[in-house]
Chain A
Amino acid sequence: MKKEGLRRHLLWTLVVLLALGLWPLGGWHTLLVCRVLGFAFLFAMVTVAWNLVALSGLISLGHAAYFGLGAYAAALLDHYSGAQVPVTLAVAGLSAAAYGAVLAVAFQRLRAASYALATLASVEIPKVIADNWESFTFGSLGLVGTRPLPTISVAGFAVDLSHNIMGQYYFLMTFLAVACAIHALAIHSRWGWALRAVREDERAAAVLGVDVFATRFTATVLSAALTGVCGGLYAHLMGMTEPDLVFNLHISAMPLVFAILGGRFRWYGPAAGALVLYSVDQLVLHPWLPAGHAAVYGLVIMVILLFFPKGIGSWPAPRS
């Protein structure tokens, strides 16, 4: 990247980060925007997590499995043991990571379309179990009454994360920042180069001494863990978990759309795609066309793909 381009790139990043960071202090309809962006942060985190696997050259259509497992793990732990939220979130991440590890081992020979189909089918297994194990997961009734996010104290101030929307906003933003940092590492670090080598040419990567399986395994498990944490957050935010809600195809398709429209090969691309598209949909399209917003949303997707084939994240930077 040329020097001038780099400078402008940094400038843009700074402007966006400042705007996101300072918005709650007095932006337009602060509460509403914070609420919507809070959800956008959550889905951006799923998108970033999804892209970790995509960076290793595998397209997953089954991230709803990790999301749902995380949601169920958090909700069940909350219901049966009343554990604190940090514990439920950690268990949510761990259980999703465990499933991710199993899938990474089981699907290690699968590539491309076969991998996509296998992951698509892998959602059904936890879903049907959650749906039918009535004595433990309450079956199709789902779990209700999951406790909301707790009150934490930051620098002497008590912040109620469930009622203080701004607190919730910064809380979720922190999670996204961590996910983005991992994602940046997956692009720019030594491990990132290994991922890239695996993505471009597995055989050549292996010859160069990259452990193909280990690289993909790490990416998948990390991605699953992050997605599981998102599921856990969702369970606490909504206060309920139902099989069809958290194991929904929608959850699997969303990160793919966001990531590709945002640009998959920049550290901020997937997050930018999710934030822009989700908030435009919720804040502009829904109020404007209550019954026809989805059609415009579809048009926006088509237009972006035709005019920004590398994603909206590629726009501010000059073409190389």
Chain B
Amino acid sequence: MWFQLLLNTLSLGSFYALVALGFSLIFGVTHTFNLAHGELIVLSGYMAYGLSKAWQAPFALTLPLCMAAMACLGQVLLALVRRIREPFELSSLVFTFGLALVIQNAMLFLFTADYRRIPASGKPLRLTADLIVTRNQLWLIGLSLAATALVYLMLRKTFLGMALRAVIQEREAARLAGIRVERMNRIAFAVGGALIGLAGPLFGQNAYLHPAGGMEATLIAVVITLFAGTGRIRGLLAGAWLLALLESAAALWLGSNWRELVSAGILIALLMWKPEGLLARKKPAPEL
């Protein structure tokens, strides 16, 4: 049972991390506090749902299509938020709140209020006598590891990544050093959009799709991003796993009704202990 619990926690944490990745990158580089994040994930999920229903597209094929589409949509979003003036973080938060309402209700109109689910990819696999892993979980763990690794390598090992990190750490200094911040913004929205696109179909497979279901995803993304500290890609995955572990342990020993209290309490305790974010080095928290 313990291995099963650990495996489920691992997949739940990977789910959290995937949901948070795009938010973290966009917030880190462009300082856009995107409250429409969850709505975009749900939109991408609906896209995958439509593809699989209308053309019987296999699940693996829907992923790149959704990623490409959401990367393009990311550029549209950037064109909108570019017009927002100072104080940028707060205004972008309210602006995307409005945008979230618009997307949510447009989806309600387009896709109706019925709850949808993207079917599982196949039979669960029995690893040992009482350790079962589902295909969904394999997808989740594999993709979140791959996405995290790719984003991490991009940020650490490429010239572009260095420029992006410079923007994350010190925006004005990066501009003075000749980094084209505008271009970095575009890249962040493209990569962040692709990550949102990747999260959507998995969200539809592991939770459900509903026009109003984006708020939960946004909350997960906000909590994990701020918890780990922005721009901390590895920290994001670790933070997501830790949160999933704490929640599952609370639900197991104390009961499902205490789950929220335990995660909130531990979150507060950790924030009081390390105000900059759990795994960040000494660095002020991003402005809000």
Interfacial residues, chain A to chain B (CB-CB below 8 A): 59, 106-107, 109-118, 120-125, 127-129, 131-132, 249, 253, 256-257, 260-261, 291-292, 294-295, 297-302, 305-306, 309
A297 to B284, CA, bound (A): 35
Whole-angstrom distance between the Cβ of A303 and the nearest chain B Cβ = 8
Interface residues of B (CB under 8 A from A): 80, 83-86, 90-91, 93-95, 97-102, 104-106, 108-109, 215, 219, 222-223, 226-227, 230, 257-258, 260-261, 263-265, 267-268, 271-272, 275-277, 284-288
Given contacts A124-B261, A260-B94, contact A113 B101 (CB under 8 A): no
Further 9 A-B residue pairs, CB within 8 A, beyond A106-B268, A302-B98? A107-B272, A109-B275, A113-B285, A114-B277, A124-B261, A131-B257, A256-B93, A295-B104, A306-B84
The residue of chain A having its C-beta at the shortest distance from the C-beta of B95 within the complex is A305
What are the residues of chain B within 8 A of A109 when measuring CB–CB? 272, 275
Contact A295 B105 (CB under 8 A): yes
For A260, the chain B residues whose CB sits under 8 A away are: 90-91, 94
Q: Contact: B275 with A257, CB < 8 Å?
A: no
B285 and A301 form a contact (CB under 8 A)? no
Q: Check B268 against A118 for contact (C-beta < 8 Å).
A: yes
- Residues in B with CB closer than 8 Å to A253 are 97
Evaluate contact between B215 and A249: CB separation under 8 angstroms.
yes
A118 CA to B106 CA, complexed, in Å: 32
One of B97, B223, B258 near A128 (C-beta < 8 A): B258
Nearest first, the 9 closest Cβ-Cβ pairs linking A and B are A298-B101, A301-B98, A124-B264, A295-B105, A128-B261, A298-B102, A121-B264, A298-B98, A302-B98
Tell whether, in the assembled complex, residue A128 and residue B257 are in contact, meaning their CB atoms are under 8 Å apart: yes
What are 26 A-B interface contacts by the 8 Å CB criterion?
Answer: A107-B272, A109-B272, A111-B284, A112-B288, A113-B226, A114-B277, A117-B223, A124-B260, A124-B263, A124-B265, A125-B261, A125-B265, A260-B91, A291-B108, A295-B101, A298-B99, A298-B102, A301-B94, A302-B99, A305-B84, A306-B84, A306-B95, A309-B84, A309-B85, A309-B86, A309-B91
Which residue of chain A has its CB nearest to the CB of B106? A295
**Contact of A117 (CB < 8 Å), options: B84, B85, B215, B227:** B227
What residues of A have a CB within 8 angstroms of the CB of B91 in the complex? Answer: 260, 305, 309
B101 to chain A, nearest CB (A): 3
* Complex Cα gap A301–B95 (Å): 7
**Residues in B neighbouring A132, C-beta threshold 8 A:** 257-258
Q: Evaluate whether A112 and B101 lie within 8 angstroms (CB atoms) in the complex, with A260-B94, A306-B83 already known.
A: no
Query: Which of A111, A249, A256, A261 contacts B285 (CB under 8 A)?
Result: A111
Say whether A121 contacts B267, CB under 8 Å.
yes
Chain B residues near A106: list those with CB within 8 A: 268, 272
Contacts of B106 in A (CB 8 A): 295
Q: From residue B66, how far is it (CB to closest CB) to chain A in Å?
A: 23
Q: Which residue of A lies closest to B98 (CB)?
A: A301
Measured in the bound complex, the distance between the Cα atoms of B287 and A147 in whole Å is 44
Query: What residues of chain A lie closer than 8 Å to B99, measured between beta carbons?
Result: 298, 302
Complex CA gap A114/B83 in Å reads 26
Set of chain A residues within 8 Å of B85, measured between Cβ atoms: 309
Q: How far is the CA of A186 from the CA of B215 in the complex (A)?
A: 33
Contacts of A111 in B (CB 8 A): 275, 284-285
Evaluate contact between B98 and A300: CB separation under 8 angstroms. yes
A111, A113, A120, A256 interface centre (most CB from chain B within 10 Å): A113
Q: Do A121 and B268 touch (CB < 8 A)?
A: yes
| Alpha-carbon separation in the docked complex, A121 to B222 (Å) | 11
* A299 in contact with B264 (CB, 8 Å): no
A117 and B105 within 8 A (CB): no
Q: How far is the CB of B224 from chain A (nearest CB, A)?
A: 10
- How long is the Cα–Cα vector from A118 to B85 in the complex, in angstroms? 27
* Contact B260 A128, beta carbon cutoff 8 Å: yes
User: Are B94's CB and A117's CB within 8 A?
Assistant: no
Q: Which of the residues A125, A129, A257 comes within 8 Å of B94, measured between beta carbons?
A: A257
CA distance A115 to B276 in the complex (A): 10
> What CA separation (Å) do A291 and B112 show in the bound complex?
11
Q: Give the residue name and chain of the A residue nearest to B274 (CB).
A: A114
- Closest residue to B100 on the A side, CB-wise? A298
Most buried by A among B85, B95, B98, B100: B98
Give CA–CA (A111, B288) in the complex, Å: 9
Query: How far, in whole Å, are A295 and B264 apart by their CA atoms in the complex?
Result: 31
A293 to B, closest residue via Cβ: B105
Determine the residue in chain A with the shortest Cβ distance to B113: A291
* B49, chain A: closest CB distance, angstroms: 21
CA distance A59 to B288 in the complex (A): 7
Q: How far is the CB of A216 from chain B (nearest CB, A)?
A: 15
Give Cα A292 to B108, complex, Å: 9
Question: Given A59-B288, A260-B91, A294-B101, does the pair A110, B264 have CB atoms closer than 8 Å?
Answer: no
